[in-house]
Structure 1
Amino acid sequence: MQAVRIHRFGGPEVMTIEEIDRPIPSANEVLIKVLAASVNPVDAKMREGKYPVVTEKDLPYVLGRDVSGQIAAAGDNVSSFLIGDDVFAFLSPDHGGYEEFVLARADEVATMPKSLDAVGAAAVPLAGITAWQGLFDHGGLRSGKRVLIHGGAGGVGHFAIQLAKDKGAWVATTVSTADREFVSDLGADLVIDYKSEKFEDVIEPVDLVFDLIGGETQDRSFDVVKPGGALISTLKEPDKARAAELSIRVGRYTAQPNGSQLQEIAELIDQGKVKVVVAGTFKLSEVGQAQTALKENHIRGKVVLKVAD
C-alpha cells in the first residue's frame, strides 16, 4: 500500500510517498481502508520534530491523525464493527492516517455520520474531539454558562462554537473581519473582530475561556474570566500563579482518541446540530501543498486529503 512517511524531520520536502506492507490488526484493532484523511497543525509539528510524542526512534513515521473509510479487517476480539462498515476515527500517535490502510483500536473508531461523505467525515475526528474535551471534560462547560472561544473560525473553533451552543451555553468568539458572518451563522452570540476590537473591552466576564490562539491573547484572557471560572488552552500552560491570585482554574491539554465521544458528535451532525466546513481538498500526492496551505493561508474550517475514491 502507499503511505506518506518521513525519515527525518524538516519541511514539507521530507515527506515521501512510499510502498509499505499493509498491516494486520491485532485482537482489539480494526484495519480501515482510508478514503480521506484530515490535515491538522499537529501533523506539521510532528514533521518538524516539534511534537515530543514522535522522536528520532519512531522514524520512519507515517503522518496523519484522523481518517474516514471502511472496515477492511477486524481482530478476533472486535464485535462492534463488520467488514465494509463506514467509519471514522481519531487515531493514537502509534498509527498515521496518510496511508491507504491504517490500524486503529476499536475504541477509537465510530460509525460515520450518514449525512456526510468521506471527505466531510474525515474533517471531524481530531478537531471535533479536541473541541469536545476542551469545553466539557476540561472546561466544565454546561447549560447557562458563558464561554469565550478564541479562534472560532478554525478547525477546532468552528466545532467548539456549535458544540457549546448545543449544550445551551452563551458563546462569544474572536475572529478576523472576514469571518464575522461565518461564525454568526454557526450560532455565536457575540462576535469580536480581533483586528479592530479588544475583547476585554467589549465582553462581560465569562465562566470559560477556550484558548486556541495562545501568546498575548491568552495573557489578556485572565481579565475576562469570572472567579471560579476556567482558562483552558490547547497550546501553552496558562500562568498558574496568576490564576491562583484570581481564583480561577487553568489548564493545557492534548486531546485523546475517544470513540464514544466521536459517536456522540456523529449523532449531532446527523441531527443537523453541527455542520462541518471543509475549506479545501488535496490528493495524497499533494500532501506538501495541503500542509503549506493550512499553515500559510487563512483557513476557514478544515483541509482534507482524498486518499481513495
Structure 2
Amino acid sequence: MMASSDVNAPELMRHVVYHQFGESDVLQVAESPIPAPGEGQVLVRVHSAGMNPIDWKTRKGLGFAARQIENRLPWTPGYDIAGEVVAVGEQVNTLAPGDRVMGLVGFHADGGAYAQYALARADELAIVPDELDLLAAGGVPVAALTAWQALFEVARLEAGQKVLIQAGAGGVGHFAVQFALERGAHVVATASPSNRDFLAELGVHEVIDYHTTDVAEECYGLDVVLDLVGGETGKRALHTLAESGVLVTIPTVTADEIVSAAEAMGLRAHGMTVRPDVFHLEEIAELIEDGDVRVHIERSFVMEQVQAAHALLEGGHVRGKLVLDCR
C-alpha cells in the first residue's frame, strides 16, 4: 500500500545528464520528475533521440552552444526527438495526445532530448509519416534540416547543377545527397571505399575516395559544394568551384577561415547553423512518406550505453545516424 506521503509524489523519468564539461565519462543517467507542459508546449514520451556532432562538442565545452549552457549545468543534452505526444499545454490546438511527432527542440540552450520525456514547443514538431518508425525518426530533424537549409536556402541548389557533398555517407551527408538528387542535381560525394556501395544505392552519380584522390584534381566548375568536414578539407574544396559557384561549410570551428580563404580567391563561401523550421521538416517528412528519401540508422543505443555512443559519435566515420533508444 502506498504511504500517504507518496500520494502526490511526481512520477519520475530517466534522462542523461552531465555536471561538468569533459570526456564521455561525464555522461550519467539520472532520475527527475516528469515535467508538465506550459502554454504552447507539449510533453512527448521520447522513443528516440538523434545524436549529432554538436552533442559531443558541447559536452567537451566547445562551440557556441557550450557558451550558452556553461552556467546552466547540470544539463541534459540532445536536440533531436521522436515520440508520442502525451499531454498538451494551453493554446495548443495543432497536436493532441497520441500524435507521433519529431522535431528539433530546445535549440540551443535548453536541450533535453536524451530523456524518456521531453518538453517541446508545438510549433517545433512535425507529424511522423506512418512509413517511418519512431526509432528511425529521431535521427531525422537536425541532420535533415541542416542538409535542406544548406542546399536550398544558402546555396540555392537548382536542377541540372553540379554539387559536391563532402562526407556523403554521414548523418547530414546521406540526407544531402538524396535531397540534391530529388531536386535533379548531378551529385558527386566523397566517402571511404566501404561506403561506395551505400552511396551508389542512394543514386549518387560519382563517389570519390578521399583517401586516394584529391577532389581539387578530380572536380572543377562545380556550382555548389557542401562541406561537412571543415578545416583543410573544406579549403581544398574551394578549388573545385566555378567562378559563380558557392561553398557552404557546416563545422563552425573552421567556418571563418574557410570563408576568408574563399574571399582571398574571389569566391563565395558561407558558414551555416541549422535552425528549427517545422515547414521544412514537413517537406522532408513528405519525401520520406513518398519513398524518395530514406533514413539510415547505423546503430541504436539504450540510455545506459550513452558513453559508448558518444565515443563512437566523436570518432566520426559513422554511416548515416546514431540514435539513443529512450523507451
Same fold (TM over 0.5): yes
User: Equivalent of 1:87, from 101, 124, 130?
Assistant: 101
Q: Using the alignment, how far apart are the partners of 1:273 and 1:247 within structure 2? A: 37
Shift of 1:145: 1.3
Shift of 1:192: 0.6
Instruction: Say if 1:176 and 1:193, in contact at 8 Å, map to a contact too.
Output: yes
Q: Using the alignment, how far apart are the partners of 1:271 and 1:61 within structure 2? A: 38
User: Is residue 290 of structure 1 aligned with residue 304 of structure 2?
Assistant: no
User: Equivalent of 2:218, from 195, 198, 202?
Assistant: 202
RMSD: 1.4
Residue type at the aligned position of 1:201: E
Residue type at the aligned position of 1:265: I
Q: Using the alignment, how far apart are the partners of 1:240 and 1:121 within structure 2? A: 33
Counterpart residue number, 1:118: 134
Q: Using the alignment, how far apart are the partners of 1:76 and 1:193 within structure 2? A: 53
Q: TM-score, normalised by structure 2?
A: 0.91
User: Is residue 127 of structure 1 aligned with residue 139 of structure 2?
Assistant: no
Counterpart residue number, 1:4: 16
Counterpart residue number, 1:261: 280
- Counting only pairs closer than 5 Å after superposition, residues 1-309 of structure 1 correspond to structure 2 as 1-54=13-66, 55-91=69-105, 92-93=107-108, 94-235=110-251, 236-237=254-255, 238-296=257-315, 298-308=317-327
Q: Using the alignment, how far apart are the partners of 2:219 and 2:61 within structure 1? A: 38
Instruction: Say if 1:227 and 1:246, in contact at 8 Å, map to a contact too.
Output: no
Residue type at the aligned position of 1:228: S
Shift of 1:245: 4.7
Residue aligned with 1:305, SS = strand
Q: Using the alignment, how far apart are the partners of 1:239 and 1:306 within structure 2? A: 36
Instruction: Say if 1:95 and 1:103, in contact at 8 Å, map to a contact too.
Output: no
The CA deviation string for residues 100-153 of structure 1, in whole angstroms up to 9 with x for no partner, is: 111111121000121111111111111111110111111111112111000001
Q: Using the alignment, how far apart are the partners of 2:154 and 2:295 within structure 1? A: 23
Range with greater deviation from structure 2 (4-13 or 23-32): 23-32
Residue type at the aligned position of 1:66: D
For structure 2, the 5+ residue unaligned runs are 1-12
For structure 1, the 5+ residue unaligned runs are none
Q: Using the alignment, how far apart are the partners of 2:96 and 2:14 within structure 1? A: 24
* Cα distance, 1:87–1:241 mapped onto 2, change above 3 Å: closer
Counterpart residue number, 2:8: none
Q: Using the alignment, how far apart are the partners of 1:180 and 1:287 within structure 2? A: 29
- Higher Cα Rg, which structure: 2
Shift of 1:75: 1.9
Q: TM-score, normalised by structure 1?
A: 0.96
* Cα distance, 1:305–1:240 mapped onto 2, change above 3 Å: closer
Shift of 1:11: 1.0
Instruction: Say if 1:35 and 1:118, in contact at 8 Å, map to a contact too.
Output: yes
Residue aligned with 2:318, SS = coil
Q: Using the alignment, how far apart are the partners of 1:187 and 1:30 within structure 2? A: 38
Q: Using the alignment, how far apart are the partners of 1:50 and 1:146 within structure 2? A: 34
* Cα distance, 1:51–1:242 mapped onto 2, change above 3 Å: closer
Q: Using the alignment, how far apart are the partners of 2:217 and 2:57 within structure 1? A: 34
Instruction: Say if 2:235 and 2:261, in contact at 8 Å, map to a contact too.
Output: no
